[in-house]
Amino acid sequence: MTSSISRQLVLWLAVPLMLLALGGALIHYFNNVAPGVISSDRRLKDAANAVMARIQVDRGGSVTLDAISGDRPALPAADSIRYAVRDSKGRLLLGDAQIPVVSMADTADQVFAVAQLDHRNVRTLSTRFDTSAGVLMLTTADIRAGGEPAARYGLMSTLLWDFVQLDLTLVLVWVGIQLGLRPMKRLRDEIARRTALDLHPIDQSSVPREIAPVVVTLNRLFAMLRTSVQFQQQFIANTAHQLRTPITGMQAQLDLLAAEPAALPVRHRLATLQEGIRQLAHSANQLLTLARADPAVNMAAKNQHVALDTIAGEVIAKFYDRALACDIDLGAEVQPVSIIADPSLLDDLVSNLVDNALKYTPSGGTVTVSAGLRDNKAYIAVEDTGPGIPESEREHVRQRFYRLPNSPGHGSGLGLAIADEIAKLYDASLIIESGANAVGTRVSLLFP
- Greatest mean pLDDT range, 14-28, 143-157, 236-250, 392-406: 14-28
Q: What's the pLDDT band for 366 if we cut at 50, 70, 90?
A: very high
Q: What pLDDT was estimated at residue 289?
A: 67
Angle between helices 182-193 and 147-180 (to 10 degrees): 40
3-state secondary structure of 209: helix
Q: What pLDDT was estimated at residue 42?
A: 87
pLDDT at residue 409 greater than cutoff 80: no
Q: CA 101 to CA 83: how far, in whole Å?
A: 11
Q: What pLDDT was estimated at residue 384?
A: 92
104 contact partners, CB below 8 Å, separation of at least 6: 111, 126, 128, 137
Pairing of strands 134-142, 81-87: antiparallel
Ranking 76-85, 137-146, 355-364, 394-403 by mean pLDDT, the lowest is 394-403
Amino acid at 18: M
Q: Which residue has the higher pLDDT, 197 or 425?
A: 425
- The backbone region for 422, taken as left when phi is positive above 0, alpha when psi lies in -120 to 50, beta otherwise, is alpha
Spell 357-367 as b/e; 16+ CB within 10 A means b: bbbbbeeebbb
pLDDT at residue 100 greater than cutoff 80: yes
Share of the chain above pLDDT 90, in %: 8
Q: Which residue has the higher pLDDT, 274 or 86?
A: 86
- 278-287 mean pLDDT: 71
Q: Give residue limits of the domains in the chain.
A: 5-56+73-151, 195-301, 304-446
Q: What is the largest CA-CA distance in the chain?
A: 163
Convert the pLDDT of each residue in 117-135 to its tens digit.
877 888 888 998 888 778 8
Q: What pLDDT was estimated at residue 328?
A: 92
Q: What pLDDT was estimated at residue 329?
A: 93
- 365-379 mean pLDDT: 91
- Are 406 and 395 a contacting pair, CB within 8 Å? no
Q: What pLDDT was estimated at residue 401?
A: 66
- Are 425 and 196 a contacting pair, CB within 8 Å? yes
Q: Which of 351, 269, 253, 341 is nearest to 298 (CA)?
A: 341
Share of the chain above pLDDT 70, in %: 83
CB-CB neighbours of 413 under 10 Å: 16
Ranking 212-226, 246-260, 272-286 by mean pLDDT, the lowest is 272-286
3-state secondary structure of 155: helix
- 384-400 mean pLDDT: 82
The length of the chain, given as a count of residues: 448
Q: What pLDDT was estimated at residue 300?
A: 47
Q: What's the pLDDT band for 423 if we cut at 50, 70, 90?
A: confident
Q: What pLDDT was estimated at residue 233?
A: 64
362 contact partners, CB below 8 Å, separation of at least 6: 385, 386
Convert the pLDDT of each residue in 284-322 to its tens digit.
676 666 666 665 555 445 578 889 999 999 999 989 998
Full-model pTM: 0.47
What CATH class does 304-446 carry? alpha beta
